[in-house]
Amino acid sequence: MPLRAGIVGLPNVGKSTLFNAVSTSVKAQASNYRFCTIEPNVSLVEVPDPRLQQLAACVHPQRIVPTVIEWVDIAGLVKGASKGEGLGNKFLSHIREVDAIVHVIRCFDDPHIIREEGPVDPVGDKEIIDTELQLKDLESVEKKIQRVEKTVKSSSDAQMKKEFEILLRCRQHLQQGKNIRTLSLTDEEKKAIADLFLLTAKPVIYVANVDENSMLTGNAYTQALAQAIAEENAEMVIMNNSIEAQIAEMESEEDRQMFMEAYQMKEPALHRLIRSTYHLLDLITFFTAGEKEVRAWTIHRGWKAPQAAGVIHSDFEKGFIKAEVISFEDFIQYGSEAACREHGKLRMEGKDYVVQDGDVMHFRFNV
């Protein structure tokens, strides 16, 4: 299953335009009215990685297969969504299913684009969405507290009491208007609330949708937003969603380069957004390289060789024996697996090997 990034925000902030920019297979309707998107649009998006082409130049495979992220365009939330306003409950359920939230926030002035909330206010917009997600999480936490409290009173189970204390901390944090991702929890404590799939525990990337003049430097709106998210484990990408959508529509690489040069862009901001998603989720890439294909695979940083093998096929993990590993730098320097082997750059690694970003791997297994 590919990782899922859900695009959220208030109506008319540029969510569907962003989705159209990242998507190459599905186009979302983008219109100047509320709830243009009702059912979420979904698209698999290739992750740009120049290392694939470099490996292919050495191996000359039949095909090149990049890794992908699944992007989900979720309908605009409104104030009162946690209570069902604007079909809010339905939309909030879609957010539960994603790994990371891409929160699009309007950071530009345009009198022709409807904004029912009044003057442009990025921080206020962020707080509206935060509040709705916090209220929904508080509802989930309260329900579990009621269930666990009865057991705690009639039991001496130390683990259950510890879980109850964690729930009380979460409730207090949410009641203070704070997101769960800003609450200091150990990995073990996080497991205690994992079954709740709390919305405010999910990692967030803020997309500051700006006008053309602010694409490279930002503006007062983006500065205010950056200050508001300073204490969160979050990232912010400044971009003009409309410009990105235009770049994505161009079939010619030459046309794209000329267009970006006109705006003094070194690369599409979408590439920065995808890299930010990887960084936020603490993901890395390893490769397999052979005559049939050169392929990129996504795993979490810190995963060991058998877990990485399991991403390719569950049998690889079950019957894992050894992994043949060549660093990306060595593979490019020597030009082939055979040359790396000859120069002692191919290593045999066991079950405890922690996979590194860029490793070129071949797995030995037996089932």
Which candidate, 174, 168, 172, places its Cα nearest to that of 152? 168
Q: What is the pTM of this model?
A: 0.84
Please tell me the distance from the alpha carbon of residue 23 to that of residue 17, in angstroms, as a whole number: 10
Q: Which residues sit in the known binding site for ATP? A: 12-17
Please tell me the distance from the alpha carbon of residue 260 to that of residue 253, in angstroms, as a whole number: 11
In a domain? residue 340: yes
Q: Is the CB of residue 128 less than 8 Å from the CB of residue 86?
A: no
Q: Does one domain contain both 221 and 254?
A: yes
Please tell me the distance from the alpha carbon of residue 268 to that of residue 260, in angstroms, as a whole number: 8
Q: Which residues sit in the known binding site? A: 12-17
Element (H, E) at 42: strand 41-46
Domain extent, residue 266, equals: 3-47+67-117+202-280
For tokens 């996504």, name the residue: 298
Which candidate, 115, 130, 120, 104, places its Cα nearest to that of 14? 104
Each of the 367 residues of the chain gets a pLDDT tens digit; together they read: 678 899 988 888 888 889 888 875 333 333 333 333 445 678 888 888 999 999 999 999 999 999 988 888 886 665 654 565 544 456 677 788 899 999 999 999 988 777 777 789 999 999 999 998 999 999 999 999 998 888 887 777 788 889 999 999 999 999 999 999 999 999 999 998 999 999 999 999 999 999 999 999 999 999 999 999 998 878 899 999 999 999 988 888 899 999 999 999 999 998 889 888 888 888 999 999 999 999 999 999 999 999 999 999 999 999 999 999 999 999 999 999 999 999 999 999 999 999 999 999 999 999 7
CATH number, domain of 192, equals 1.10.150.300
In a domain? residue 297: no
CATH number, domain of 84, equals 3.40.50.300
Q: Does one domain contain both 207 and 111?
A: yes
Q: Does one domain contain both 28 and 147?
A: no
In a domain? residue 59: no
**Positive or negative CA dihedral for 354, 357, 362, 367?**
positive
Looking at the structure of the chain, the number of domains it has is 3
Q: Which residues pair with 365 in a beta bridge?
A: 320
Q: Does one domain contain both 113 and 39?
A: yes
